[in-house]
Amino acid sequence: MRHLMSPLDLSVEELDQLMDLANDIEKNPAKYAHACDGKRLATLFYEPSTRTRLSFEAAMMNLGGTVLGFSSADSSSASKGESVSDTIRVVSCFADICAMRHPKEGAPMVASMVSSIPVINAGDGGHQHPTQTLTDLLTIRSLKGRMDHLTIGLCGDLKFGRTVHSLINALVRYTGIKFILISPEELRVPDYIRDDVLRANQVPFEEVIKLEDALPSLDLLYMTRVQKERFFNEEDYVRMKDFYILDKAKMELAGPDMLVLHPLPRVNEIAVEVDQDPRAAYFKQVQYGVYARMALILTLLGIEVK
Q: Compose the 208-237 pattern: x for residues touching ligand NCD by CB under 6 A, - for all others.
A: -----------------x------------
Buried b or exposed e, range 175-199, using 16+ CB within 10 angstroms: eebbbbbbbbeebbbbeebbeebbe
**Looking at 263, 280, 281, 293, which residue binds ligand NCD (CB under 6 A)?**
263
Min. distance of Cβ 123 from ligand NCD in angstroms? 5
Q: Identify which range of 11-19, 77-85, 107-115, 258-266 contacts ligand NCD by CB under 6 A.
A: 258-266
- Would you call 40 a catalytic residue per the annotation? no
- Would you call 230 a catalytic residue per the annotation? no
Q: Identify which range of 78-86, 103-111, 245-253, 261-269 contacts ligand NCD by CB under 6 A.
A: 261-269
**Looking at 87, 128, 139, 163, which residue binds ligand NCD (CB under 6 A)?**
163
Q: Compose the 111-150 pattern: x for residues touching ligand NCD by CB under 6 A, - for all others.
A: ------------x-----x--x------------------
Min. distance of Cβ 124 from ligand NCD in angstroms? 10
Strand order of the β-sheet with 40-45 is 66-70, 40-45, 97-102, 119-124
Q: Compose the 74-113 pattern: x for residues touching ligand NCD by CB under 6 A, - for all others.
A: ----------------------------------------
**Looking at 51, 178, 194, 228, which residue binds ligand NCD (CB under 6 A)?**
51
Pairing type for strands 119-124 and 205-208 reads unpaired
Q: Would you say 22 or 35 has its CB closer to ligand NCD?
A: 22
Round to whole Å and give the CA distance between 94 and 207: 47
Taking alpha carbons only, the member of 224, 153, 165, 220 closest to residue 189 is 165
Q: Identify which range of 164-172, 209-217, 239-247, 263-271 contacts ligand NCD by CB under 6 A.
A: 263-271
- Would you call 279 a catalytic residue per the annotation? no
